[in-house]
Structure 1
Amino acid sequence: MALRRKPSGAGGEPVLAAAGKDGTSGGGASRRSGQSGGTGKGAARASGAGSGSRGADRGEKSPDAGGGKGAGGGGTSKLAQIRLVYKITRERDPSVLWWTLLGLAVPVVVGVLLGVFVGPIYLWLPIAILLGVVVALNVFSRRVQRTAYAEMEGKPGAAAGVVERMRGDWRLTPAVGVNRHQDVVHRVVCRAGVVLIAEGRGRGPRELLVAEKRRIRKIVGEAPLTDYIVGTGEGEIPLPKLQSTLMRMRRELRKRDVDALERRLRAVSAPALPIPKGPIPRNISRGGRPR
């Protein structure tokens, strides 16, 4: 049986066929079916890859759904925190509710009046409500801050607590100087220079400030050195005004200068070696143990 090569039209590959036999042509058909089967397998692989990519897409979307639930839980926790803060503040400041409602009511009333006498009320009323919510939250936060300062005032470390809660680059080293009366000096390194903050009563804070300024004067160099005493006496800064006083200070240093200054001060403020106090023993023989 002779075989001859017959050109194929569509596939572009030659097909073998018998000269006078139909069975061999069936082999060519089977070859075509095998090729189509291979194409089917490739399509199956492509569909599998597509389904895998869709699964990956679903996997990528699932963390977002979890994040949405986490965000909802975070909102609930924030509301719980606000309720707790309000409860604590109202115990110490019973008028906090009325001040907050007043901050909400004043913008709303002004918006209603403007809507009645100037323009359409449907335009002014939403603006007034939003503004009232902002004012009410601001009033509430200020009353909370005022209550917190009243609780902290007079306690050791209150000034350090205020500086720690401030926003910005305020590098605090608490209690660089302490005496037996619990008067303390804190050191703050910032873009305004070095700030020494003393708290206490009587002459103790001033003596600690003088000693600390004398100790770090050569290390600071040309950087600004400022000192404050927190208290209610003459020449002292009340604790509620400490944050605003520090924020108004002039920034004269760059960040790299602040970094270098902080490293020098930390090197000097390293804890001393635990050498026992008292006179040095003199009756020690060089060749053996002390007698």
Structure 2
Amino acid sequence: MSTPDPSEMSRRQQIAATYRMTKRTDPRIGVWLLGAFVLGAALGYGLFTVLPGSGTLSLIMSIVGALMLGLLFTVILFGRRAQKSAYDQMEGTTGAAARALSSLRKGWKTDQLIAFTKQQDMVHRVVGPPGIVLVGEGNPHRLKTLMASEERRHQRVVAEVPIHLVVVGDDEGQVPLRKLVKHVNKLGKSLKGAELTDVRGRLRAIDANRSNMPIPKGPVPTSMKGLRGQMRGR
């Protein structure tokens, strides 16, 4: 049976699917969430108890405050542990960087598999405020040649646009998968709206020559957009 598209699932179904996914690598997630709710509720109840007021109204406000803070703590913890679990499950799998990049917010455009080798080394491209970011995953030695070739190819079309090279991994000079999105977001702001549109238009000339390139065998990267929406409270 195929996995449902997160965009076609109800809010409740998305939460349930994320919980099941998280539980695979975090079996005590239920205990953690219960603990977060109890802690938040206790703090909320205590906070509203000391506020001016008395009688039934004060009790009702304290209970409401406990529920609100308890739910807030639970949602925050669930989002963080779900994100960690998602990265843990993606680590070491084909296309993991592409899946992580899909969680970038509006204003970024990600093109997966713009270059690759038979050994499934891959280069993905992200276009956004920092300019062009070429993200490689696979063997660093093979990626060095592959990414240098892509950098030259892009410079011929958008010579004035900054091009950043990022290799995903845990060795020195590389960016760990779980920090990839944060790293890309911190690369600066060199392009604005109209400039981004122009760059994306010129890059179509490069992409047009790739239309007949064979896609390498292996798992097709899936999206983190459903999880992203849940963590952002949508």
Please confirm whether the aligned pair reaches a TM-score higher than 0.5, indicating the same fold. yes
Counterpart residue number, 2:136: 198
User: Is 1:217 paired with 2:150?
Assistant: no
Specify which of 186, 192, 214 is matched with residue 124 of structure 2. 186
> Cα gap change, 1:174/1:127 in structure 2, threshold over 3 Å: closer, same or farther?
same
Once the two structures are TM-superposed, the CA of residue 166 in structure 1 deviates from its matched residue by: 2.2
User: Is 1:98 paired with 2:36?
Assistant: no
> Cα gap change, 1:142/1:224 in structure 2, threshold over 3 Å: closer, same or farther?
same
> Cα gap change, 1:248/1:132 in structure 2, threshold over 3 Å: closer, same or farther?
farther
User: Is 1:234 paired with 2:172?
Assistant: yes
* TM score, norm. by length of structure 2: 0.76
Amino acid at match of 2:28: S
Specify which of 58, 80, 86 is matched with residue 19 of structure 2. 86
> Cα gap change, 1:112/1:184 in structure 2, threshold over 3 Å: closer, same or farther?
same
Once the two structures are TM-superposed, the CA of residue 208 in structure 1 deviates from its matched residue by: 1.6
User: Is 1:114 paired with 2:47?
Assistant: yes
Q: Is the 8 A contact 1:163 1:170 kept in 2?
A: no
Q: Which has the higher contact order (CA 8 A, sep 6+)?
A: 2
Q: Is the 8 A contact 2:140 2:167 kept in 1?
A: no
Q: Is the 8 A contact 1:149 1:240 kept in 2?
A: yes
SS of alignment partner, residue 269 of structure 1: helix
1:107-139 CA-partner distances (Å, limit 9, x unpaired): 211233334556555334422321220220121
User: Is 1:243 paired with 2:220?
Assistant: no
Structure 2 unaligned regions, length at least 5: 1-8, 213-234
Amino acid at match of 1:101: L
Q: Is the 8 A contact 2:101 2:181 kept in 1?
A: yes
Structure 2: how far apart are the matches of 1:107 and 1:85? 22
Superposed CA RMSD in Å reads: 2.4
Q: Is the 8 A contact 1:185 1:197 kept in 2?
A: yes
SS of alignment partner, residue 134 of structure 2: strand
Q: Is the 8 A contact 1:105 1:132 kept in 2?
A: yes
Counterpart residue number, 1:20: none
Structure 1: how far apart are the matches of 2:210 and 2:18? 42
Structure 1: how far apart are the matches of 2:211 and 2:169? 35
Structure 2: how far apart are the matches of 1:273 and 1:94? 44
Specify which of 103, 110, 135 is matched with residue 165 of structure 1. 103
* TM score, norm. by length of structure 1: 0.62
Structure 1 unaligned regions, length at least 5: 1-75, 275-291
User: Is 1:150 paired with 2:94?
Assistant: no
Query: Quick check: which has more Rg, 1 or 2?
Result: 1
Matched positions, count: 200
Counterpart residue number, 2:77: 139
Once the two structures are TM-superposed, the CA of residue 272 in structure 1 deviates from its matched residue by: 6.0
Identity %: 31
Counterpart residue number, 2:10: 77
User: Is 1:254 paired with 2:192?
Assistant: yes
Structure 1: how far apart are the matches of 2:210 and 2:25? 44
> Cα gap change, 1:273/1:201 in structure 2, threshold over 3 Å: closer, same or farther?
closer
